[in-house]
Amino acid sequence: MKIGIPKEIKNHEYRVGLTPMAVLELTHHGHDVAVETLAGDAIGFSDEQYQAAGAQILNTAADVFDWAEMIVKVKEPQAVERAMLKPEHTLFTYLHLAPDVPQTQDLIKSGAVCIAYETVTDARGQLPLLAPMSEVAGRMSVQAGAHSLEIAQGGRGLLLGGVPGVEAAKVVVIGAGVVGQNAVAMAVGTGADVVVLDKNVDVLRQLDKQYGNRIKTVYSNKEALERHVLEADLVVGAVLIPGAAAPKLVTRDMISRMKKGAVLVDVAIDQGGCFETSKATTHAEPTYIVDGVVHYCVANMPGAVARTSTMALNNATLPFVLQLANKGAKQAMADNPHLLDGLNVCRGKVTYKSVADDQNLEHVSAEDALALI
Ligand SMILES: NC(=O)C1=CN([C@@H]2O[C@H](COP(=O)(O)OP(=O)(O)OC[C@H]3O[C@@H](n4cnc5c(N)ncnc54)[C@H](O)[C@@H]3O)[C@@H](O)[C@H]2O)C=CC1
Ligand SMILES: CC(=O)C(=O)O
Ligand SMILES: [Mg+2]
């Protein structure tokens, strides 16, 4: 198969769809790979390394899209990229479609087969292609929150762990999945006072076993959520309903009653965000302030540590890229129901139920849509 890797163009996004090491695996299996020039340059993957792995280097994204049968990316395609998609393409990347109507419409119009990393599942019902970036973003969330708590950033002027004789800051993590667990680990490491909420008692049980009384685990209902958010210095939003728009758990009214200079880090912003006042920001301008509360809402947090993130992402995506390349998209998805769970848009039809529901669109099951390929 002909596999194309364009350079990422989202603001301060330096990850790349495939590393030279991953390209070598594909060329070794007899596939052809084309990489846009300088696609990995910012993170130390040169054009020469890609050529040594057997790839050809093309000058523009348009050349890559024209040549390739499958496009492997990191971030959801931007408008100029969507305009280059054709029905012959398989697109394999993060999509986060539920809160993104223009992207959904463009992918429908493209006729392409669009498989989203974030809804591919594994045998335990988890999300193996989201998990590595959630690990990165969860760890970064506490770093970003600590920085935002500094006075110069509009924060309360608190050090998360305090110092001897001065109490630690209170960190509240909403959602105890992969992002939440990694945020808790980092927050505990700083010495902060940590509370974590979830609706899944099993994950709270797990954290309770791991940390004992070093943290507080709390079942997430309206009363508990409000009480802890109002006491918080830093709140990390880490909830997910797979494929769907994030629930707005923290309302504008609650935010107006939070401590001035408190910080919200909305990691769930790529699914629309779980704070009512959240809107996506970029690494160039990561924060803004509403009612005295600092909001950090960067939708591609792992892009800031792009070398670590690219390698972690490739470890997870490569087996699926190989299946798609070796068998073709239709057969690979027919053979692997976990990969089929990734199918979001296929030949003009929305094939992921919660995306269709959130946008009032017709839904065709992924199984039925395979017949369209
Ligand atoms: N901004 C960024 O750069 C990045 C964002 N993310 C996003 O972070 C979010 C979380 O991802 P993961 O941790 O991997 O998901 P996950 O599925 O591992 O965990 C989500 C948790 O939220 C809980 N939850 C759902 N509804 C809830 C509610 N009403 N109250 C409390 N808890 C609730 C679930 O029970 C689950 O434990 C996703 O939206 C993901 O796309 C992930 C990586 C990077
Ligand atoms: C998961 C995601 O949105 C990211 O890595 O940017
Ligand atoms: Mg994102």
Annotated binding site for NAD(+): 134, 198, 220, 239-240, 267-270, 298-301
The answer, yes or no, to whether any atom of ligand 1 lies below 6 A from the CB of 175, is: yes
- What's the 270 CA to ligand 3 centre distance in angstroms? 5
Provide the pLDDT for residue 177. 98
| Per-residue pLDDT, 268 | 98
Measured by CA distance, the residue closest to atom 24 of ligand 1 is 239
Task: Give the single-character DSSP code of 53.
Answer: T
Residue with tokens 């910080």: 263
Give the number of the atom of ligand 2 that is nearest the alpha carbon of residue 301.
6
pLDDT at position 48 is: 98
Helix (H, G, I), strand (E, B), or coil: what is residue 194?
strand
Residues 180-217 pLDDT 10s: 999 999 999 999 999 999 999 999 999 999 999 999 99
pLDDT of residue 229: 98
ipTM value > 0.85: yes
Q: What is the mean pLDDT of each run of 10 residues along the chain (373 residues)?
A: 98 96 98 98 98 98 98 98 98 98 98 98 96 98 98 98 98 98 98 98 98 98 98 98 96 98 98 97 97 97 97 98 98 98 98 97 98 97
Cα(45)–Cα(359) distance, integer angstroms: 39
CA 157–ligand 3 middle distance (angstroms): 28
> Measuring CA to CA, which residue among 66, 109, 113 is closest to residue 91?
113
Helix locations, 247-299, DSSP H: 252-256
What is the distance between the alpha carbons of residues 106 and 250, in angstroms, rounded to a whole number?
31
Q: What phi, psi does 309 have (nearest 5°)?
A: -65, -40
Q: Phi and psi at residue 21, in whole multiples of 5°? A: -65, -40
Instruction: Please give the pLDDT value at position 307.
Output: 98
Q: Whose CA is nearest to atom 2 of ligand 2?
A: 300
Binding residues, as ranges, are: 15, 75, 134, 198, 220, 239-240, 267-270, 298-301
Q: Which ligand is nearest to the CA of 317?
A: 2
* Helix residue spans in the chain (DSSP H): 20-28, 47-52, 61-67, 79-82, 101-110, 131-148, 178-190, 201-211, 222-231, 252-256, 306-327, 329-335, 337-340, 353-358, 366-369
What interhelical angle do 131-148 and 306-327 show, nearest 10?
A: 160
Of 298, 289, 214, 222, the residue nearest 258 (C-alpha)? 289
Q: Is residue 197 within 6 Å of ligand 1 at its C-beta?
A: yes
- Identify the nearest ligand to the CA of 308 by its number: 2
Both tokens assigned to 320: 């699926």
CA of 74 to the centre of ligand 2 (A): 8
34 membership: H or E segment, kind and range: strand 32-36
Q: What is the Cα–Cα distance from 115 to 215, expressed in whole angstroms?
A: 38
How far apart, in whole angstroms, are the C-alpha atoms of residue 127 and residue 342?
10
Q: Quick one: CATH architecture of 131-299?
A: 3-Layer(aba) Sandwich (3.40)
CATH class of 2-119+306-372: alpha beta
Ligand 1 pocket check for 195: Cβ under 6 Å: no
pLDDT score of 159: 98
Do the two domains 2-119+306-372 and 131-299 of this chain adopt the same fold? yes
109-149 confidence digits (pLDDT tens):
999 999 999 999 999 999 999 999 999 999 999 999 999 99
Question: Cβ < 6 Å from ligand 2: which residues?
Answer: 94, 130, 133, 270, 300, 302
Task: In whole angstroms, give the CA distance from residue 352 to residue 118.
Answer: 12
Report the pLDDT value the prediction gives residue 118, as an integer from 0 to 100. Answer: 97
- For residue 67, the model assigns a pLDDT of 98
Distance CA 83, CA 316 (A): 28
Q: Count of residues for the chain? A: 373
How much is the CA Rg of the chain, to the nearest whole Å? 21
User: At a CB cut-off of 8 Å and minimum separation 6, what does 176 contact?
Assistant: 184, 196, 197, 198, 200, 203, 204, 207, 217, 238
Q: Domain extents for the chain?
A: 2-119+306-372, 131-299
> pLDDT at position 15, please?
98
Ligand 1 proximity of 34 Cβ (cutoff 6 Å)? no
DSSP string, 314-373: HHHHHHHHHHHHHH-HHHHHHH-HHHHTTEEEETTEE--HHHHHHTT--B--HHHHGGG-
Walk across the sheet containing 349-350 and list its strands: 56-58, 32-36, 2-5, 70-72, 90-93, 113-116, 343-346, 349-350
Paired strand residues for 56:
34
Question: What is the distance in A from the centroid of ligand 1 to the CA of 204?
Answer: 14
What is the H or E stretch that residue 72 is in?
Answer: strand 70-72
Count of CA atoms in the C-beta half-sphere (13 A) of 35: 28
Name the residue of 179, 203, 276 whose CB sits within 8 Å of the most ligand 1 atoms, as the mutation to test its pocket. Answer: 179
Ligand 2 center to 212 CA (angstroms): 31
Q: Which residues pair with 58 in a beta bridge?
A: 36
Counting from 1 in the atom list of ligand 2, the atom nearest the Cα of 130 is 1
Active site residues: 96, 270
